[in-house]
């Protein structure tokens, strides 16, 4: 199913930030599961949690040759490169911290210009999230990033990169990744669930249907009493969404993302309650502070919703 998110909408003074969500549709694509070099001699490299089979025209080289990916430290790394040219093209395999709402660390996401394209791909021995079309300031390579999550542990990460003149090596790198074997961990089914996405879509649709209308009324309103009433009504809508979300059982890969969304929705409810109280109080400083809290809470809701796209519930 696809999550359709709109950009944050800034209202004229005195308010806020909003994200509108409609139509969660899951997307699932299969990568080639043919190991690299199936008809030729190969070598074996042992990474932190994966075994990689690679062709003899590739070499294992010092990881320091790989260009740094801003915001994405890959630890316990192994670097493979064609002809030993690790600066220009290669496969960097290792681990990244897990446990966040999305498979990609927030520090890395903060570096990106735009959202990456996401696929759930089936490899020979596992499934992975594949991120492509990554626009990273200061990083002048073409990059495909694979993440294999591991609940309660660091996630496996594999970065296929190449400068534009060597883009043909990306396909070879993808073939190496497609034939990897997991070591010391069990694969997780990452396939997005259509039933779950449909229920989430219904929940968010009910929230957004009223949210956009009420926020438009808030933008047009000029009386404190009306603003207070509308903010209180929005707080009630967020409270209803929180109750509905609490009984929605997420698939295993989505658990932390749903938890982040639930927390953000609760904070948004509280922020609107505070705004409702501040509007008729006659204190401009209190009202300004309440506005800022609402903006921050709405942004957190937006971030949590966008995290679903990084789990294969992709924007359509």
Say if residue 12's pLDDT is above 80. no
> Which long-range contacts (C-beta less than 8 Å, at least 24 apart) are formed by 36-45?
36/172, 36/175, 36/176, 36/178, 36/179, 37/175, 38/179, 45/78, 45/80, 45/93
Say if residue 244's pLDDT is above 70. yes
Two structure tokens written together for 219? 């933008």
Residue 183: strand, helix, or coil: coil
235-247 in b/e form (b: 16+ CB < 10 A) is bebbbbbbebbee
Is there a cis peptide before residue 16, judged by omega within 30 degrees of 0? yes
Say if residue 247's pLDDT is above 90. yes
Higher per-residue pLDDT: 8 or 118? 118
pLDDT of residue 314: 57
Two structure tokens written together for 201? 């879509």
Average pLDDT over every residue of 82-89: 90
By CB neighbour count within 10 A (0-12 exposed, 13-18 middle, 19+ buried), where does 7 fall?
Answer: exposed
* Helix (H), strand (E) at residue 131: strand 127-132
Say if residue 26's pLDDT is above 60. no
pLDDT of residue 39: 52
DSSP state of 99: -
Among residues 95, 94, 83, the alpha carbon closest in space to that of 169 is found at: 83
Higher per-residue pLDDT: 283 or 311? 311
Q: Which residue has the tokens 């320091």?
A: 64
pLDDT of residue 205: 86
Can 4-27+193-309 and 42-182 be said to share one CATH topology? Answer: no
DSSP 49-90: SEEEEEETTEEEE-GGGSPP-TT---EEEEEEEETT-TTTEE
Helices (H), the chain: 106-109, 168-178, 194-220, 224-246, 255-278, 284-309
Domain ranges of the chain: 4-27+193-309, 42-182
7-16, 87-96, 111-120, 296-305: least confident range:
7-16
pLDDT of residue 215: 84
Q: Tens digits of per-residue pLDDT, 49-63?
A: 899 999 999 999 999
CATH class, domain 42-182, is alpha beta
Give helix 224-246 / helix 194-220 axis angle, nearest 10°: 170
Average pLDDT over every residue of 288-305: 91
Say if residue 147's pLDDT is above 90. yes
8 Å CB contact between 79 and 59: no
Average pLDDT over every residue of 282-303: 89
pLDDT of residue 32: 43
Neighbours of 276 (CB within 10 A): 20
| pLDDT band with cut points at 50, 70 and 90 for residue 184 | confident
CATH class, domain 4-27+193-309, is mainly alpha
Say if residue 167's pLDDT is above 80. yes
Distance CA 137, CA 130 (A): 20
Among residues 42, 29, 35, 79, the alpha carbon closest in space to that of 174 is found at: 35
21-35, 200-214, 251-265, 301-315: least confident range:
21-35
CA dihedral 259, 262, 264, 267 (to 10 degrees): -130
Phi, psi of 175 (to 5 degrees): -65, -35
Distance CA 73, CA 61 (A): 18
């Amino acid at each position: 199913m696809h999550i359709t998110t709109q950009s944050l909408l800034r209202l004229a003074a005195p308010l806020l930030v909003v994200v509108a969500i409609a139509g969660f549709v899951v997307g699932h694509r299969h990568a080639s599961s043919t190991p690299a070099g199936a008809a030729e001699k190969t070598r074996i490299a042992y990474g932190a949690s994966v075994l990689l089979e690679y062709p003899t025209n590739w070499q294992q080289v010092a990881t320091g040759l790989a260009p740094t990916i801003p915001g994405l430290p890959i630890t316990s790394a192994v670097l493979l490169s064609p002809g030993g040219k690790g600066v220009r093209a290669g496969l960097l395999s290792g681990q990244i911290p897990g446990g966040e709402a999305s498979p990609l660390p927030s520090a890395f996401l903060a570096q990106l210009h735009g959202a990456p394209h996401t696929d759930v791909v089936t490899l020979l021995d596992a499934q992975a999230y594949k991120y492509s079309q990554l626009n990273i300031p200061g990083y002048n390579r073409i990059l495909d990033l694979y993440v294999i999550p591991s609940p309660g542990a660091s996630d496996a990460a594999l970065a296929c990169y190449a400068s534009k003149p060597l883009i043909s090596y990306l396909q070879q790198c993808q073939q190496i990744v497609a034939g990897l074997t997991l070591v010391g961990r069990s694969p997780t089914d990452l396939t997005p669930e259509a039933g779950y996405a449909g229920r989430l879509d219904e929940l968010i649709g009910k929230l957004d249907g009223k949210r956009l209308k009420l926020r438009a009324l808030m933008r047009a309103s000029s009386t404190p009493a009306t603003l207070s009433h509308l903010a209180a009504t929005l707080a009630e809508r967020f409270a209803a969404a929180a109750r509905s979300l609490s009984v929605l059982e997420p698939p295993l890969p989505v658990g932390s993302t749903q938890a982040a969304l639930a927390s953000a929705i609760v904070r948004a409810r509280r922020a609107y309650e505070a705004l409702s109280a501040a509007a008729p109080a006659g204190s401009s400083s209190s009202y300004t502070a309440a506005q800022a809290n609402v903006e921050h809470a709405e942004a957190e809701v937006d971030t949590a919703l966008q995290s679903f796209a990084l789990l294969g519930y992709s924007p359509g």
